[in-house]
Amino acid sequence: MSKYLLHRKLKAKPGSGEQLSSILLQAAQSIETAKGCQLYLISVDTQDKETVWVTEVWDSKEDHDNSLKLENVRTLIAQAMPILDGMPQKGQELQLLGGFGLNT
């Protein structure tokens, strides 16, 4: 099974976690129909409301990289950057072995 998975932690500046979550939820809507996007989940850390997790599954890394070039996604990235507490970490790139829940 060949899929590209990315799991990333984003930390918002104090008091900005809800705003960051909102921006990322808009991003999810923007890429819902993007080529190769199988899953895009936004989660909030239950112990730290300023920490937001993004879990993505793509058909390929190329599809993911191309999604970052979409104008509406670039606009949302520009909105998120000023409220991040530091630069975003690279994130974990994972290899999908199997399971259920995706149309594979």
pTM of the model: 0.87
Domain 4-88 is found in CATH 3.40.50.970:
no
Q: For residue 76, what are the CA distances in angstroms to 27, 88, 95?
A: 7, 14, 27
Question: What are the pLDDT digits (tens) for 34-83?
Answer: 999 999 999 999 999 999 999 999 999 999 999 999 999 999 999 999 99
Q: What is the pLDDT, as a whole number, of residue 9?
A: 94
Q: Specify burial of residue 6 (Cβ count, 10 A radius: 0-12, 13-18, 19+).
A: middle
Q: Is 23 exposed, middle or buried (0-12, 13-18, 19+ CB in 10 A)?
A: buried
Which pLDDT does position 1 carry in this prediction?
Answer: 65
Nearest CA to 92 out of 1, 9, 2, 3 is that of 9
